[in-house]
Amino acid sequence: MSVFFAFPDRPHVSPDAVLERLTTLHPKTIDLSLDRVWRLLQALDHPEAALPPVVHVAGTNGKGSVVAYLRAFLEAAGLDVHVYTSPHLVRFNERIRVTGRLLDDSALLVLLEEVERVNTGQPITFFEITTCAAFLAFARTRADVVLLETGLGGRLDATNVL
């Protein structure tokens, strides 16, 4: 079991409030770089460096389908697979799968609160900070492979720090 699943009992709190706060951190000016992502990953002690092999899926169409196919194929072969995709269809939890399972609200809340705290209110986009959260979750739980879907794509997509 991973470290971020261990936390003290507390009343049920939805991660939605934290997700809403994270949207307010969006930079007020356009800064086309990966500097914000690198800054947060450094503050988190570089979880991306601890990831298993990564399959980075990019392209114009079909990324989600390719990730779903690869996940099914790899899990059928007995591998433990982490998955990061976007956007979600119903709930944010759909974006991050740790060894094939969606994070429950409690685990997601702990993870989001940690990246929010470590970010210390610095400007960062929602996708950038949630990508860092996914890397942190993946680094804390053993797996054989990570399937990573780009966001908007391009060389400055937050997923391109890998």
Please check whether residue 80 lies inside any domain of the structure. yes
Interval 12-18 mean pLDDT = 79
Q: What is the pLDDT of residues 61-97, one digit of tens each?
A: 999 999 999 999 999 999 999 999 999 999 999 999 9
Radius of gyration of the chain (CA): 15
In a domain, 6, yes or no: no
Q: Specify the number of domains making up the chain.
A: 1
* Long-range pairs for 113-122: beta carbons < 8 A, 24 or more residues apart: 113/18, 114/4, 115/40, 115/44, 116/18, 116/21, 116/22, 118/40, 118/43, 118/44, 119/25, 119/40, 119/43, 120/43, 121/25, 122/25, 122/36, 122/39, 122/40
Whole-model pTM: value is 0.87
Contacts with 90 (C-beta within 8 Å, 6 or more apart), sequence order: none
Q: What is the domain extent for residue 75?
A: 15-161
pLDDT at 18: 87
CATH number at residue 75: 3.40.1190.10
When pLDDT is averaged across residues 109-135 and rounded to a whole number, the result is: 96
Q: Tell me whether residue 4 is in a domain.
A: no
